[in-house]
Amino acid sequence: MANAFERLVEKMDRATLDRMGKPVLINDVGFVAVESHLIPEMGPLTGDGISLVIFSSDYKPRRNDQTVWDGQSYIVTRYQSFNGKPQVWLE
């Protein structure tokens, strides 16, 4: 049984998905993602880019994954874990 903190995290994830989640297609598989924004004051950036947090434990990110976001085709250029979820950068 999940503890109170884990239940709160699950509740917040559901609220985030309901309010901000959008469909993304990665390697022809549908997921729900939230666009993640960074501001320049938070560290060095190499230019504008799209970063998505994928709300699925089924997705295992790899470089060059074929991605369709907002009707545009991209590839995954890098990835990391963000609060236990895959975060990917698209170009």
Query: How many residues are recorded in the chain?
Result: 91
Predicted local distance difference test score (pLDDT) of residue 20: 95
Report CA-CA distances (Å) from 30 to 1, 5, 38: 29, 29, 25
Structure confidence at residue 41 (pLDDT): 59
Location of structure tokens 């994954």: 65
5-14 burial: b if 16+ Cβ within 10 Å, else e: eeeeeeeebe
CATH 2.40.10.210 fits 21-90, yes or no: yes
Ordered per-residue pLDDT tens for the chain, 91 residues: 679 999 998 999 999 989 999 999 999 999 999 998 766 555 565 556 789 999 999 999 999 999 999 999 999 999 999 989 999 999 9
Domains of the chain by residue range:
21-90
